Structure 1
Amino acid sequence: MHESAVFLHHNANCHHTIPYTKNSRFLKILNLQKGVSENKMSEHNSEKYLLENAAVNIFIQIYNQNYKDQLTIQVRQERPDVILAHAGQEFSGLEITHLFYDSQQAKVLLGRSEDDFDRIETMDKSIDTLNELIKKKERIYRDLGLSHDLSLLIRNASPIYGMTDFLKHKECIYKSYVFTNIWFLSRDGDGEWLLTDLLQP
């Protein structure tokens, strides 16, 4: 994969300061239809698939708009989540995950809880959560010995902190070189999805 950072319509003066409401635009995107199955595991897997599918589609759209190396989905699987085909007939793996402030925010944003998420989010806690997420994925893949490059895609689910906020604290973000790239997908003040590689300076 290419290593350069990518931004789409990025405005460095914008901050994502939209407060959480149950009618927020992000909630409308992430609030998935339930009742796929009475089995909770099947329901979870369906929800996970839909979230991952939305994230990888946004990622590929932005990536292909900015690079000649056009990506397509070759295979959907469990580990890693996606095998990507490159224009040069090469393949790479992509593990997909979502960054929530904590488990309660995840439940609220995904429509699993009727309670309001009324906690005050802090940037320090958001960075800590991001770092733990990267380390968790690193532990999974460190010793697998995959035959292809592997990148991590993290989609930011915070309604409060956007791309600019995280880039201001980039030096505090954990760098795991188990991954060829750590792609960070996030909105910012203008609501546009942006993409950058957290492994790059």
Structure 2
Amino acid sequence: MNRHEMEKKALEQTAIDLFLEVYNRNHESSLSLVRQQEKPDSVLEDQMHHQVGLEVTHLFYDSEEARLMMARSEFLKPGAEELESFIKVINDRVRSKEDKLKDYSHEYPCMLLIRNLSLLFGMSDVLGRKDVLQLPGGQFTHVWLLSRDFTPDWLLIDLYDIVRLA
């Protein structure tokens, strides 16, 4: 395994650990990690031994976000255009992962976890623009967004629930 693959697996493992911590704190039926793998990235199991796949993707802090951060003062939030672009990235990522799902194991249902690592946009930004989020196509049983909201605490929401409320 090369360095890039090792870093990717470490990012996935951290996302899975955070997901399980927040999910289990907020749901009566807890999940546990069975194994990490490829397509999907991991297999989880509930207390009744029902398995579910978990595909993990990340929204990264990127060069465009760095440029925006350097160009603004401490007190200014990014504008509506930047937030629209961020929401579009979420929509595009869900569609892309749904397209790839056909190549995955179908021994069990699969969920998608999107971990937001952006320093500019948090959970409240996504919730504030839920009207722009597109309903996932239904290939994943849940499409989870794991994000901070400018605090150290991670929050977890299912995009299916948010888009239905819009």
TM-score, reference length from structure 1: 0.69
Aligned pair 1:131/2:80, yes or no? no
Residue-pair matches, total: 150
1:73 aligns with 2:38: no
Match of 1:192 among 150, 153, 160: 153
Residue identity over aligned pairs, in percent, reads 36
Paired residue type of 1:61: E
Q: RMSD over aligned Cα, in angstroms?
A: 1.9
Contact kept, 8 Å, 1:72 with 1:86, in 2: the verdict is yes
**1:177 paired residue number:** 138
Q: 2:67 aligns with which of 118, 124, 130?
A: 118
Aligned equivalents of 2:39, 2:103: Cα separation in 1: 13
Q: What displacement does 1:43 show?
A: 1.0
Tell me the distance in 1 between the aligned counterparts of 2:105 and 2:84.
33
Cα distance change of structure 1 residues 86 and 173 upon mapping to structure 2, 3 Å threshold: same
Unaligned runs of 5+ in 1: 1-40, 107-116
Q: Highest relative contact order (Cα 8 Å, sep 6+), 1 or 2?
A: 1
| 1:25 corresponds to | none
1:101–1:126 contact (8 Å) kept in structure 2:
no
Q: Looking at secondary structure, tell me which structure has more helix per residue.
A: 2
Q: Residues 145 and 84 from structure 1, CA distance in 2 versus in 1: closer, same or farther, beyond 3 angstroms? A: closer
**Greater fraction strand:** 2
* 3-state SS of 2:157 partner: strand
Which runs of no fewer than 5 residues in structure 2 stay unpaired? 70-77
| CA–CA separation in structure 1 for the residues paired with 2:151 and 2:111 | 27
Q: Following superposition of structure 1 onto structure 2, how do residues 16-95 of structure 1 map, counting pairs within 5 Å? A: 42-95=2-55
Paired residues of 1:99 and 1:157 also in contact (CA < 8 A): yes
Structure 1 runs of 4+ aligned residues shifted over 6 Å read: none
The superposition leaves residues 13-37 of structure 1 with CA deviations (integer Å, 9 ceiling, x where unpaired) of xxxxxxxxxxxxxxxxxxxxxxxxx
Q: Is the 8 A contact 1:94 1:152 kept in 2?
A: yes
Distance 2:91 2:85 in 1: 10
